[in-house]
Amino acid sequence: MKKGIAFPTSISVNNCVCHFSPLNSDPDYLLKEGDLVKIDLGVHVDGFIANVAYSFIVGVTKENPVTGRKADVIKAAHLCAEAALRLVKPGNQHAKPFRYAWSSQEQPSKLPGPRGGKTHTKKELVPINNKTVPESPTTKHRKDHEEAEFEVHEVYAVDVLVSTGEGKAKDAGQRTTIYKRDPTKQYGLKRKTSRAFFSEVERRFDTMPFTLRAFEDEKKARMGVVECAKHELLQPFNVLYEKEGEFVAQFKFTVLLMPNGPMRITSGPFESELYKSEFEVQDAELKALLLSSTSRKTQKKKKKKVDEFV
């Protein structure tokens, strides 16, 4: 039975949105008090994947809670994720969780709106397939997504990111270190180093995302990945950034859609008393949704009469 990493650990700080996973040869990055940190990772057992991500502030305590924009953005991301959990259930339309969260955040709460929130279907040995939810409920983002319903026994990774800025993540030129193989692409690699590198990728990671840090010879890995990526045998997970001075918070969880309700199987820590935002959710419907229970209702089996067994 195969098991291992389904998504390499990335630690993205402040305005860095995602996929920051430096190599051993890169200079150390020292976290400082007050940094907003996002930790994102995934594992699998026999190809079945569980992803999780969460956000926190370095050095925060109950005696010294976070206030201001950092508290606002973390609280908003957490509430959007909690709302999505309650709406990701059989029978609901795919876009409903994020369309609902978006419209609710436009109420006078003034909490930042969700930016880039999405869900991905989890399939055996395929971390992310084509069954996705659009990033936002706007016509532009919805037109390429076919409306569909959540179904029983599906498994989803729900990934919510919220920004204090415009939510326009950009590649700032940071070196990409995370890739995954695209099994639909073929190309005859010319360089010996590239062929050896790609052969190891196929053997060790199949279609799972991996980091160049996982290779014993990092220098050869950095050389081999160039030709593979150039001809699209590998898909890059680029390091993305929001504008300098802005903050991005993330919460991701994996949920099983069971007959008696959604079952969240991964979740990062969140202590509400550490984040003191001056804003509160104003929408009555959203308040009621967030107060609703996420516990699955146990299905009681009907007792058969004794004479049925005689």
DSSP assignment of 139-166, as one string?
HHHHTTS---B--TT-EEEEEEEEESS-
Highest-scoring range by mean pLDDT, 151-155, 218-222, 278-282: 218-222
- Residue 182 sits at the vertex; the CA angle it makes with 142 and 211, to the nearest 5 degrees, is 100
Query: Which stretches of 59-204 are assigned E, i.e. beta strand?
Result: 118-121, 155-163, 170-171, 178-181
CA max distance for the chain: 76
Ranges 37-46, 150-159, 292-301: which has the least confidence: 292-301
Span(s) in the chain for CATH 1.10.10.10: 178-236
pLDDT band of 297, cuts 50, 70, 90: low
Does the CA dihedral 89-90-92-93 come out positive or negative?
positive
Q: Please give the structure tokens belonging to residue 287.
A: 């308040």
Between 218 and 310, the more confident residue is 218
Ranges 159-173, 180-194, 241-255, 263-277: which has the least confidence: 159-173
Q: Give dist(CA 17, CA 165) in Å, integer.
A: 12
Q: Please give the model's pTM, rounded to 2 decimal places.
A: 0.83
Quick check: helix, strand or coil at residue 47?
Answer: coil
Between 137 and 126, the more confident residue is 137
Residue 88's identity, in one-letter code, is V
pLDDT band of 144, cuts 50, 70, 90: low
125 contact partners, CB below 8 Å, separation of at least 6: 47, 206, 207, 208
Query: What are the angstrom distances between the C-alpha of 114 and each of 32, 139, 186, 215, 269?
Result: 26, 16, 37, 36, 20
Q: Which CATH number fits domain 178-236: 3.40.720.10, 1.20.1260.10, 1.10.10.10, 3.40.50.300?
A: 1.10.10.10
Span(s) in the chain for CATH 3.90.230.10: 3-173+239-291
CATH architecture of 3-173+239-291: Alpha-Beta Complex (3.90)
Query: What pLDDT is recorded for position 298?
Result: 54
Q: Give dist(CA 76, CA 111) in Å, integer.
A: 6
Question: Is the confidence at residue 90, as pLDDT, over 70?
Answer: yes
Question: Is the confidence at residue 21, as pLDDT, over 90?
Answer: yes
Mean pLDDT of the chain: 83
